[in-house]
Amino acid sequence: MTITINNNASAAAALLALNATETQLSQTELAITTGLKVNAAKDNPAAYAVAQNLKGQVSTLQSVELALNNGESAINTAVNAGQSVANLVSQIQAKVVQASQSGLDTTSQSALSYDVAGLLSQIDQLVANASFNGYNLIQSGASSMSVLSSADGSTITVSGVPMDVTDLGINAISLTNSANVATAMTAVANAVNMVAENLASLGSASNLLQTQNTFTSQLVSTLTAGVGTLVDANMADESAQLQALQVKQQLGVQALSIANQAPNAILSLFR
């Protein structure tokens, strides 16, 4: 066996093995700390690139989800207000029917007229307050609302359905005489049908947005799971790997220490 003090091959080999173990140990500790087996492109270039692409898609779809949620909220606000309008119109209809009774005294007629005026005022107030995020789908002159529905920029258009007393055609009803009452009954009946149709239209739009939102949420979940499969660390495996590498590290340090002691054998030749 050749003994040399200038070059210690055993120590060099032990040091190389120890450095490799230290590198693996650092990677495993990073995976456990971050929960990721792919923290940078150098860890797995292909997986990293695919994961980044999927993350971009997820981010885009989350923006679509937000738009759909806002659209649903605007519609639901309009629906809730519209249902209240429907109830008020029904109350007006009941008042008009009462006013059509023959032999109604002037006091009762005036009371009914006062009640109807109050109900009409409530309708307009409800309609004016039915706004969400700047959209009011039931106010006079309500415009359509375009809602982002997919990552390619497609939109769903929700038409405005005015439900104020003027658009419903009941703003000028009067109960002062039998002719006016008859006209009022026709106008209110038309208003009842109009409100029902408008609510049906809003309900249909709400269902459409909800369906699209559910699909988008499921797609986000699927893509997110795909990202996890590519880059998430298996914590059980990493934990076991950590234990093994720590043992290898200790053995490597001992092996290096033993290898470094080998040149000392030369001293025995001079005793």
What are the pLDDT digits (tens) for 35-55? 888 888 888 899 989 999 999
pLDDT attached to residue 187: 95
Q: Give the C-alpha separation, 184 to 169, whole Å.
A: 10
153 torsion bin: left (phi>0), alpha (psi -120 to 50), beta (else): left
Do residues 134 and 115 make contact, with C-beta atoms less than 8 angstroms apart?
A: no
Q: Which two tokens stand for residue 155?
A: 């939109």
SS3 of 197, please? helix
Q: Residue 106 — pLDDT band, cuts 50, 70, 90?
A: confident
User: Per the confidence metrics, is the pTM higher than 0.85?
Assistant: no
Do residues 171 and 117 make contact, with C-beta atoms less than 8 angstroms apart?
A: no
pLDDT attached to residue 5: 65
Do residues 188 and 152 make contact, with C-beta atoms less than 8 angstroms apart?
A: no
Provide mean pLDDT across the span 46-73. Answer: 93
Q: How would CATH label the architecture of 52-201?
A: Up-down Bundle (1.20)
Do residues 120 and 226 make contact, with C-beta atoms less than 8 angstroms apart?
A: no
Give the range with max mean pLDDT: 63-67, 240-244, 248-252, 262-266. Answer: 63-67
Q: Which helix (H) or strand (E) holds 145?
A: strand 145-148
